[in-house]
């Protein structure tokens, strides 16, 4: 039976290398956690801003509907032209389109947040929607 007494400092260097790799892995993990946290925070802000835009566009639609009602009433009374009514209809159509865009933006922001939180990944693994 032989027992090596001197291994040319190989064991010590392997320990130092393993320790260095462990520290590097810890640093990488911390950086990854910070990146995920930053992505979650930014997408939360994006969702909040999208909600605000949607609420604003809802109010714009209400105002455009009221403008069309007023234009129609004025037209019936003979005070307004057909052009004013058509302009009011166009304003309402634009307001509705902007509302739809805001709703789309909100849906995308919510999906990004779910992805950042890992919810979409978990949903696809379980088959949930």
- pLDDT tens over the chain, length 129 residues: 555 555 666 777 888 889 999 999 999 999 999 999 999 999 999 999 999 999 999 999 999 999 999 999 999 999 999 999 999 999 999 999 999 999 999 999 999 999 988 886 666 566 655
Q: Which helix (H) or strand (E) holds 7?
A: none
| 54 and 106 Cβ atoms separated by less than 8 Å | yes
Residue 112 CA to residue 120 CA, distance in Å, equals 9
List Cβ neighbours of 6 (8 Å cut-off, separation of 6 or more). Answer: none
Alpha helices in 1-129 (DSSP H): 10-76, 82-117, 119-126
Topology of domain 11-126, CATH: 1.20.120
* Apex 113 CA angle, 104 and 98, nearest 5: 15
Q: What pTM was computed for the model? A: 0.71
pLDDT of the residue at 15: 84
pLDDT of the residue at 12: 77
Structure tokens at 34: 């910070």
pLDDT of the residue at 118: 85
């Amino acid at each position: 039976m032989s027992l090596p007494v001197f291994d040319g400092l190989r064991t010590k260097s392997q320990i130092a290398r393993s320790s260095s790799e462990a520290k590097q892995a810890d640093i990488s993990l911390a950086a990854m956690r910070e990146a995920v946290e930053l992505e979650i925070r930014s997408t939360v802000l994006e969702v909040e801003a999208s909600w605000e835009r949607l609420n604003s566009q809802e109010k714009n639609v209400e105002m455009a509907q009221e403008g069309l009602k007023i234009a129609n009433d004025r037209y019936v009374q003979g005070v307004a032209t057909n052009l004013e009514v058509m302009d009011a209809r166009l304003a309402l159509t634009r307001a509705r389109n902007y509302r739809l865009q805001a709703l789309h933006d909100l849906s995308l922001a919510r999906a990004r947040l779910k992805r950042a939180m890992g919810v979409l990944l978990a949903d696809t693994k379980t088959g949930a929607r």
